[in-house]
Amino acid sequence: MSPRREDGPLSLLSGTEEARYRVAPLREMLGAAFGQIGDGPITVARAPGRVNLIGEHTDYNDGFVLPVAMSQAVYIAAQPRSDRQVRLRAQNLGKSSSFSLDAVERSDDAPWSNYPRGVARELQAMGHPLRGCEAVIWSDVPIAAGVSSSAAIELACALAMTNLTGVWVPLLDLALASQRAENQFVGVSCGIMDQFASAFGRAEHALRIDCRSLERHHFPLPAGCAVVVCDTRKPRELAQSAYNERRAQCEAGARAMGAAALRDADLDLLETHRSDLDPVILRRCRHVVTENARVLAATEALEQSDLSTFGRLMNESHRSLRDDYEVSCAELDAMVEAAWEADGCCGARLTGAGFGGCAVALVAAERLEAFVDQVSRVYEQRTGRVGHLYPTQAADGAVVITDPE
């Protein structure tokens, strides 16, 4: 199978170009969805998806993660209304949904709207007055495909909704409000990685987040290598209950070792408590402890432009997720193994929660096309599924795009 081309060119639009290319079509979509709109300024916000290079299932253990914000993003264009209604159009889905800011309820009919609804509720609970609006949401982040389109929708909506009131709210607050919306309103008990990556990513850099202190550092990605998202197209089944089970196992492990969180444990402490720990919990803890160490080693490797060490750590991360944390699946293993076998692959591993979804590979840029062709073909031969492999670039985090009109 040849690579899918609808993902477009690799280039990332700069701020000014972005304003020129994105705002006019979004303005048209807004007009088409809600009828006549005035010539007044509209608010356009953009928030990227994320792909995590290393540091998986560590965020909710107060540990370290190293995602990049992707060049694929969610855009929202909004214009104010004089009442308290929020009218939304999800352009990619061809669906609409409305709610009142005075009574924000969860919607079973339009589950996609629970992200904006949850964000609106959180922002108001924080004391930020919002105004009614009509808004179009459009995305080139693949939806429900393991690259955090949900965090991107949350951040884009949070930025647009606060911008419409003319009040500047720090991105940190918007990212935390988005996570709370997902935890408490949507009902997904995720960690902080996805919202932080979407908020604080930087072009050409990976973002290391200390999920305890929330301290952030950017590390330049080495030139000459491409980040390739390898979507298995295997739906993430039972992911939520298995995710919650892993979280509970980590908490039980930390408790048994007298640690506040697994962030505070190391292999020696694990060894000391070997006989107190259920063998499954021991393996879960071993993954988290070794994964935290791998993130720190990986950022050192980035600082030294040592791609081969970085790649080896990615591969070790996959094995640990597969054997100790048990969140891989046949499709993810097939994808990662096909990547490992391909020329020019520095490293590959599953990314995100696992149980289906995506892998990520770092690939020598000059081998990119051949890599995508070969891995797509081998993956299909071994699994009977057609995957979706596409390059992404590390991009800037969420922004409001100034309307050039």
Name which of 60 and 379 has its Cβ closer to ligand GLA. 60
Q: Which is nearer to ligand GLA, 1 or 242 (CB)?
A: 242
State whether residue 249 is helix, strand or coil. helix
Q: State the minimum distance, in angstroms, from the CB of residue 194 to ligand GLA.
A: 5
Strands (E), 293-383: 345-351, 358-364
Q: Which residues bind ligand GLA (CB under 6 A)?
A: 56-57, 59-60, 190-191, 193-194, 352-353
SS3 382: helix
Minimum distance of ligand GLA from residue 188's CB (angstroms): 7
Two tokens at 46? Answer: 């953009």
Cβ proximity to ligand GLA, 92 vs 240, nearer residue? 240
The DSSP output letter for 143 is T
Angle 184-190-193 (CA atoms, 0-180°, nearest 5)? Answer: 125
Cα 186 vs. chain centroid, distance in angstroms? 16
Written as six digits, the tokens of 160 are 């647009």
Q: Shortest approach of ligand GLA to residue 55 CB, angstroms?
A: 7
What is the torsion angle, in degrees rounded to the nearest 10, for the CA atoms of residue 84, residue 138, residue 147 and residue 195? Answer: -30
For residue 381, what is the enclosing H or E element?
A: helix 368-383
Q: Please say which residue, 178 or 376, places its beta carbon nearer to ligand GLA.
A: 178
Pairwise CA distance, residues 61 & 202, whole Å: 24
- Identify which of 111, 120, 197, 201 has the alpha carbon closest to the alpha carbon of residue 161: 120
Nearer CB in complex with ligand GLA: 116/191: 191
Neighbours of 11 (CB within 10 A): 9
Q: Which residues of 288-327 are buried (b: 16+ CB within 10 A; e: fewer)?
A: bbbbbebbebbbebbeeeebebbbbbbbbbbebbbebbbb
Taking the complex as a whole, the smallest distance from the CB of residue 149 to ligand GLA amounts, in Å, to 11
Return the number of the residue (57 or 117) whose C-beta is nearest ligand GLA.
57
**Contact indicator for 385, 224 with CB cutoff of 8 Å:** no
Query: Do residues 196 and 333 lie in contact, with contact meaning Cβ atoms separated by under 8 Å?
Result: no
CA 42 to mean position of chain CA atoms = 27
CA–CA gap between residue 64 and residue 210 (Å, rounded): 5
Q: Catalytic residues, which ones?
A: 194
